[in-house]
Structure 1
Amino acid sequence: MSDLHDYKPAMVMFGLQVMYAGVSLTTRAALLQGMSPRVFVAYRQAIATLVIAPIAYFTRKKRNSKCLEWRSFWWIFFTTLIGLEKVDMRSVRSMAKIIGTVLCVSGAVSMAFLRGPKLLNTQFLPSKSLFASEGGDDWLLGCLFLFAGCCCWSVWLILQVPLSRCYPDHLSLTAWMCFIAMLQSAAVALFFDRDLQAWNLQSNLQLSCCFFTGISSAISFFGQAWCISHRGPLFSAMFNPLSTVIVTIFASILLHEEIYSGSLVGAVAVVIGLYTVLWGKAKDLEEFHVEADPKPQNDQTTVKIIVDQIDLEEPLLSDKINRS
């Protein structure tokens, strides 16, 4: 049972990556039908709030109301500047984490940009590909937005470590995050999409996509916070490139997307890098358990020395008493 408990964070993260892959596919499907991205995000966060808020309310735990004060907020912010992941260039496990990270990132980038010869689904020519680039001049702007989103997501992962120590109720924390995200996304959507017709759901597919992505957001926030509190932000972040591999597999099977050799090489690099980082994190966990274990040998030696000293001192004290 202890071995199964150790594998729980990895299984949760793998399930979340499968869910993220489904979110990517369903989001693209909803946007292809003309739905506004800002309205879609607002609906998604609203559904996530409606799903997680009742669960958090009825299963809430007793908690300290001071944990969300401004002093705690600034403490959480400054701890992110110190660094939460120890890196020793002379350690094998630290080098494994660095090399694995480089492999994962390189693999994900190669899957997105490298092509090469076609391997699968060369006979299919879909009329409107799910991943077809139609932006033209907006392609660079989209990359900048994705980079900014990755930076914000990285900061969010790091913030979960001190926040989990201060506010250990992950369900309630997830409900608050979804609620605040709903308010922010709704304000942005109302500012840019002032036409109320943009808020109408024109098909059952759009409604289904909103429900699926909303439920996935609620589950993913809670799952990510739980995994980070147990294994740290690096462990959670290293699974993100795996969703790219899963999306590629789903797209090739369900949507007959063409698979290129560059995608295959990138997928192999992502898997190898992920296993390398997990090996380094496992070694860190073993060292932590060794340092946490008590050392009974030293205690027994200390007790033995004290007893021997007492045995030596007692006769001397008794002789002094007899002489007096």
Structure 2
Amino acid sequence: MTTSFKAQALQVLAIEAEAVSQLARFIDDDFERACQLIMDSSGRVIVSGMGKSGHIANKIAATFASTGTPAFFVHPGEASHGDLGMITKDDVVIAISNSGETGEILTIIPVIKRIGAHLIAMSGNPSSTLAKLADVHVCVKVDQEACPLGLAPTASTTATLAMGDAMAVALLNARGFSANDFALSHPGGSLGRRLLLRLQDVMHSDSAVPIVLVTASIKEALLEMSAKGLGMTAIVDSSGQLQGVFTDGDLRRILDQRYDIHDTAITMVMTPDCITAAPETLAAEALKMMEQRKINGLIIIDAQKKPIGAMNMHDLLKAGVL
């Protein structure tokens, strides 16, 4: 029985992969015109579909919206009962129907035309009523459904979703949509945190920064490290400029060298020319630097090379950057 399940699943994947692969033949002048219609529009993209096509339309609208093309989904049934009021003449409507003959979609087409919005049809039938009424038709025809009965939308919905992704990404590139733009629309997710969070947002500052003077002993530095709990301390001169850092790693390295921690100056065992970062550095960039240099913490300095903050891997973990 398990073998039968596996064989059927592999067949479904093969059919759907072939359906997506065959879409390349429909990336043509009509696809280009559809993208240009959206680029030239001063309004939003409204995506609509019924049944399974409606679920795909909802996802396509979400992908558009998160990649720089303002968009939302309108249910064609609800559109006939008031939701058409959300569509303006400046908008572009993408109507999705595999057959191109879905009644709920065709019912709202005359009103969309009367409003003056442009209409892009996405269907598997270039000769359908929907295709003929549209300003542009983007074909998503598939040779067969993955459903052995040929009834349940499977390969056709996969192909439509892939075509929507192709359109969204083509528009993303045309708009010069950046990773920072993407993060601005995803501030609550892990991607947003990685792309937006800066060291000034996660660092310990003011009195929480571990700092000792160059005149301090090893013992005084250890007491400062223990009090601040970051596994390191900055060493500064009388003007407050950073001269070096002393870390847990440095402590382990000097343990067998029999230093008198009471009388030995911290400058004798500190790491000069230590790795630092500016407060506006992206937390994700700092993480990459720390991993490359195999260090667990960073001193954050201002333009005068004075320590204004400190952070370690645990801070990045708490902030959701790791």
TM-score by length of 2: 0.25
Tell me which protein shows more strand as a share of its residues. 2
Larger Rg computed on CA atoms: 2
